[in-house]
Structure 1
Amino acid sequence: RYYSCILPNIAGMCDEVKAASDTESEGDHLTGRGAMTLESLFSSLSHFFGRNGRHLYDYQLAIQRFAHREGTSAFGVRNVMSLWCLNPAVVFQDIADLTHSVILTSGTLSPMGSFASELGVQFDACMEAPHVIDADSQVFASVLSSGPTTHRLNASYKTADAYSFQDELGASIEEICRIVPGGALVFFPSYKLLDKLKVRWSQTGQWARLNARKPVFVEPRGSTEELEPVLNGYYNAILGKVPLKKGRGGAKQIVKNRVRKNSSQESAKGGAAFLAVCRG
């Protein structure tokens, strides 16, 4: 009964926040950021006290401390207090109660049993389709502990700046590009490491040797608009196409590269390599 008395007060405060954020009303009003902060707080409190307090222990109060620069040299500390919900069923239960049916689709729902348990809902119909890739014949997973010269491939913080590691990694990627046909995706843990490797490989000639095997494309740091033309160039290189050019009458044409089967040098360059950063 105690919790049921709190909820109407929270709902009333939410209405007051909405009214106070009306910019067309006369007098003072809340800023958009302030209104969003208060609405988020009251929404969390409504779930916190909802269902007669059943989900009280599904929340955790956390205080985070962040260091930030103030001016040119001084550093300051910013404290942030957060109310974290550690159980997705708290919110999903309300969604399931308000809807007639819910359809969830994703490529990462398996295992289905534990996923349904986390959401606190029993799904009457479940379907798990087979993957488009045949894991037995199309996938080979391996860990390379060393490169062509048997130097250890260790990308830890202490060894990532060593030229011996950077050179060995470049030689390993070159060898993989020589063997693997088509496209080659190479992911790095950060843009910082990727930039260091590009500089080093350009100095040693490794970058030119990589491009001799496959045209190398690098993920840009910018927006999606900057990434799209790079991806298109990567796909076209794999398909053996050259960039769009104008033909007779101004019409655009795509001309396929004719790779001679008796030329080992050209066949070795088949496909392309794409260097990117894994954010997972």
Structure 2
Amino acid sequence: DDIAEAVISLEIMRDRATAHREDFETLYAAMHGLYSWFLRVCDADGKEYALKQHEQLFETWGATLSGEQSLSPLESAGLTQESVGDVMRALSAASKYNQELKEQKERMSGAALNTCEKVLNPLKFLLSNGATTARDYRVVIEKTLSDTEKALSTQAQRSSLARLPMDELVKIQFRCLNPALAFRELVGENGARSVILTSGTLAPLNSFASELGVDFPIRMEAQHCVDMNTQVWGSIVASGPSKRVLNAGFKSRSDWAFQDELGASLKEWAKVVPHGMLMFFPSFSLMEAIVHRWR
């Protein structure tokens, strides 16, 4: 819905703008091409991308594409390694022009421009070096049936772009698996002169620097305040009190049996561990889901 409204706003600005019309045309072409691709992804039958029903989540279908697989539909949308720079420059120019308009009626909504930025910025990195950088990406498609209806604006309702069923929620995520891609821009030729990183959990620094793709010539690694030999014991707890395997993998983390077993395990550990425990979750969403189940 947000993308549909952004495309409509760009179309209006393209026709109304007295300046930067070419920039709005460039943005419109890119966003309209992306929206057409997203509509194919949202196809009710899921034929083009073979959306499979999730084993654990109710009324949820999904698929994962490699970054290379996304290059062809992105090219069909007019976004390539050669053109993405022009699109980002058009976005910057259009945003600046829109700010100059201030409160005029011809002004594009900030929400629509924000949608353009959120959609196009990840693609800037994905397409920065063609297939080389695309290998570090995964495109995750997830479709769920939503219980709540989100009303489109009157403008979007009148448009032929408002074609998605109101009870479907479709998410398309471009996931970068290589932090060096984003960090490279920060410390590149036009980036920061100095970057200072401090943390108590960065060690070992060699692997950390390798992940960011940058050499840190000045380093300081202080001794840890904890005696690792006498104060730390590391172990893996493979199963809970009921002998059920504690597997927090993606396929099993939503299983109530796993969540209940994890809660029972914590209850038993709390009986023998003094002064409390600290538990880490891989994401806030998983933590909230499990705590909701326990309550």
TM-score between the two structures when normalised by the length of structure 2: 0.47
